[in-house]
Structures are given as C-alpha cells and as structure tokens.
C-alpha cells in the first residue's frame, strides 16, 4: 500500500514511541508531503490533518489513483493556503497505509506483516507522531493546524497535548468524542471486514485474495454517513441506472446503488482493510473530556493563547452542529479566543472537502488574521 512517490521519514529509532495503550513502537515510518518553503524564522508552518480515509497527498497527485490532491482547491500558490507564503505539511497518520507504520508493514521481530499484532492506537498517538515529524523537519511551532472530521479530532488533540507549539487552530466538522451512533456505524464496517472469508484473521497480506468485499461494504456504509439525504435525493432520487424499468432482481437497479458500489470498489484499491479497523477504533476511543473528569473546558486551559476557529455544516448529521458548538463553548469557557460558524450547506459531512464559498471566506479571513498576528507578511 505504500505510495510510490512522496517522502518518508523514519522516526523513534533510538527512543521508542509510547502509545496510550502502554505498548511501544520503534522505529516508526511516516509518509508525508510538504508544499512551499519554511522561512528563516521558522514561523510560517501550517499542518493539515487528514480525515479517516485521507492521506498526505493534500495538494499533489495521488500515486495510486492518479487523482488530484483532496484539498488542491485550498492549498497551492496563490490559493487560500498560499504555498508562496506558507510551509504546508501533511502526513499519513499512524496506522494508515500510505507510507506510515501500520498493520500492513513488516514487524521487524517476526519478519511478517504486523496484522492484528499491531498495537491499538489513539488519535493522540497519531498526534505524537506528527509532532516528531515536525521536529524532524525543523518546525518548532505552527502558525496553524487545520483539520476536518478525524483531522479535526487531531487538531483538538494538538490543542490539548502540544498547545505551546500552536499559534492558531481550525476545526472543521468534527467532535471531541465519538457518540454511540458513530461507534455503531464503525462497528458495522469492522464486522463487514472481519466477516469476509478472505480476511483470514488479519493475516491476508501473503494470500492471493484480500478482504475486498468486506472493505467495500464498510466503505459503502460509511459513505452514506458523509452525505445528506438532501444531497442523495438531488443527485440520484429514485433514478434508475441505465435501464427503463426495474429488473425484479438484485442488480444495481438504482443510480444510488451503482454509485455506492463504485465507491466501495474504488476504495479497496487504495486502502488496507486492517488499517480501516485500527483507524476507526482510534476514532471510537476519542473522548477528550474524559481525561479531565468530564470537563472539556479544562482540556483547553493551556491553549488560552491559541486563536481558534470552529466550523460546522447545517446538513452534517455525522458530526452535527451541536457537537461543534460544544467544542466552541468549551474553548470559550477556557478563555480561548474562538470564532464559530454554522455554514448552510446541503452537502452533509463532506462539505468541508467541497467548494463552499462561505467556508472559504471564513478560512481566508481567519488565516490572514493569524498570519498578521504571527508577524508574517500579508
């Protein structure tokens, strides 16, 4: 699954990475991409944190799919995150499958892929690896850290774990903990993977067949949660797929069925099934307030100097506005300077990845203000 292009750093070679579970990893490989140049004062770095099925190719061609970067609209010369001004970093998260250590990689002790012997990880573990990568790149502090969905969760963990390294932070369509409904959807996906006879208890790496069917179903289920009913209705309705009448069978009669099947089949070409299990588990374990006796505001007290922006979307039912407001209220209670907006959008959870002029306008103003207060040229 490792990408054929891009950069890889090998970290924690001398001192092991201690995970929240108590397990240790050494060494840890990290796949990453950078855009722009770090200035002489090392004050213009921006870290972008990707979502569950995302990767480090935020603004460059994906080495497997050949598609443009997933936020190429935002990142690049003259764009909202102007790489003529900022040094933008994005890394593949711990446990994933595009260059960063995860269950697909060889366990140096056994000489075989880790599989389910890989230790269970958390969002905070991912952030610890990102911090080590920034050390490797010579970045002591960040002008901004930005993330949507699971990327937003990483941003929150940056605010609670390394607040001294942050000047500003943006959280898009995220949450400070996973609800029972979130966990339930992830469990359906995991069970789909593990029910696939080609999963082989997670040891499929040396087999001819992979658990593609189970992973495709997991992706189909998750993809529904990323959209809104409005978006599905407007895009597909009950339109038939290349036929004039239903077939009275179980082929993809409806366009929405064909669309989901395509999403599932395309996903298995670029993602590892075990990585899907590990990353969804990390998201399920997220509950930042629990580490502070249930008081989320206490988690942000050390970040009172960090400028923050929280954005939600009206049709997002996966991480609805209420979850994002809870974050903003907790930040405000902790004395963190935070701005909040709910953007009216029909696109559901995926809106943060799409062309949303109101979001762009808010991000543009926030980044410009953060850069000015950081002493960077406008």
Tens of pLDDT along the chain (378 residues)?
Answer: 334 458 999 999 999 999 999 999 999 999 999 999 999 999 999 999 999 999 999 999 999 999 999 999 999 999 999 999 999 999 999 999 999 999 999 998 899 999 999 999 999 999 999 999 999 999 999 999 999 999 999 999 999 999 999 999 999 999 999 999 999 999 999 999 999 999 999 999 999 999 999 999 999 999 999 999 988 998 899 999 989 999 998 998 899 999 999 999 999 999 999 999 999 999 999 999 999 999 999 999 999 999 999 999 999 999 999 999 999 999 999 999 999 999 999 999 999 999 999 999 999 999 999 999 999 987
Q: What is the pTM of this model?
A: 0.96
The answer to whether residues 269 and 151 belong to one domain is no
Range of the domain at 149: 7-178+287-373
Neighbours of 242 (CB within 10 A): 8
Q: Is residue 172 part of a domain?
A: yes
**pLDDT for the residue 101:** 97
Is position 1 within any domain? no
Three-state DSSP class for residue 334: coil
- 3-class DSSP assignment, residue 252: coil
The answer on 187 and 47 residing in a single domain is no
Considering the domain architecture, whether residues 189 and 232 belong to the same structural domain is answered as yes
Number of structural domains the chain divides into: 2
In this structure, the answer to whether residues 218 and 146 fall within a common structural domain is no
* Three-state secondary structure call for residue 188: helix
Q: Please, is 245 exposed, middle or buried when counting C-beta atoms within 10 Å of its C-beta (0-12, 13-18, 19+)?
A: exposed
Do the Cβ atoms of 126 and 93 come closer than 8 Å?
A: yes
Q: What single-letter DSSP state applies at residue 64?
A: T
Contact 4, 63 (CB under 8 A): yes
Let me know whether 163 and 266 are in one domain: no
Residue in 369, 315, 316, 295 with CA at minimum distance from that of residue 339: 369
- Put residue 201 in one of left, alpha, beta given phi > 0 → left and psi -120 to 50 → alpha: left
Return the closest-CA partner of residue 121 out of 245, 368, 286, 302: 286
CA distance 1 to 359: 33
Q: Are strands 24-25 and 17-18 parallel, antiparallel or unpaired?
A: antiparallel
Cβ atoms of 284 and 180 closer than 8 Å = no
Final residue belonging to a domain, choices 280, 302, 328: 280
Residue 144 and residue 231 in one domain: no
182: left (phi over 0), alpha (psi -120 to 50) or beta: alpha
Active site residues: 149, 316, 349
Q: Which residues contact 233 (CB under 8 A, 6 or more apart)?
A: none
My answer on whether 165 and 90 are in the same domain is yes
Per DSSP bridges, beta strands 28-35 and 7-11 are antiparallel
């Amino acid at each position: 699954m490792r990408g054929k292009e891009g950069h890889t750093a090998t970290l924690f070679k001398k001192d092991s990475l201690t995970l929240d579970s108590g397990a240790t990893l050494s060494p840890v490989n990290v796949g990453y991409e950078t855009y722009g140049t770090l200035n002489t004062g090392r004050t213009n770095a921006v870290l972008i944190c990707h979502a569950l099925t995302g990767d480090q190719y935020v603004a460059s061609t994906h080495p497997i799919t050949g598609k443009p970067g997933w936020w190429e609209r935002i990142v690049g010369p003259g764009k909202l995150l102007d790489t003529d001004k900022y040094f933008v970093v994005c890394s593949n998260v711990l446990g994933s499958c595009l260059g960063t250590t995860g269950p697909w990689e060889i366990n140096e002790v056994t000489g075989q892929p880790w599989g389910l012997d890989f230790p269970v990880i958390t969002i905070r573990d991912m952030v610890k690896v990102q911090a080590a990568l920034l050390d490797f790149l010579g970045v002591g502090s960040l002008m901004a850290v930005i993330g949507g969905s699971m990327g937003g969760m990483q941003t929150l963990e940056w605010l609670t774990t390394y607040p001294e390294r942050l000047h500003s932070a943006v959280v898009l369509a995220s949450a400070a903990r996973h609800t029972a409904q979130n966990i339930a959807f992830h469990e359906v996906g995991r069970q789909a993977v593990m029910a696939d006879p080609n999963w082989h208890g997670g040891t499929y790496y040396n087999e001819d067949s992979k658990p593609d069917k189970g992973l495709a179903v997991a992706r189909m289920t998750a993809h529904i949660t990323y959209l809104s009913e409005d978006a599905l209705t407007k895009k597909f309705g009950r339109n038939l797929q290349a036929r004039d009448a239903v077939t009275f069978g179980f082929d993809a009669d409806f366009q929405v069925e064909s669309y989901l099947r395509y999403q599932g089949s395309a996903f298995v070409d670029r993602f590892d099934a075990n990585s899907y299990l590990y990353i969804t588990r990390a998201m399920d374990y997220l509950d930042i307030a629990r580490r502070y006796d249930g008081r989320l505001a206490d988690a942000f007290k050390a970040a009172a100097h960090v400028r923050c922006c929280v954005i939600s979307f009206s049709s997002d039912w996966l991480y609805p506005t209420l979850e994002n407001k809870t974050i903003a209220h907790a930040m405000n209670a902790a004395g963190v300077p935070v701005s909040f907006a709910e953007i009216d959008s029909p696109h559901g959870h995926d809106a943060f990845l799409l062309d949303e002029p109101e979001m762009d306008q808010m991000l543009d103003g926030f980044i410009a203000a953060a850069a000015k207060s950081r002493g960077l040229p406008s």
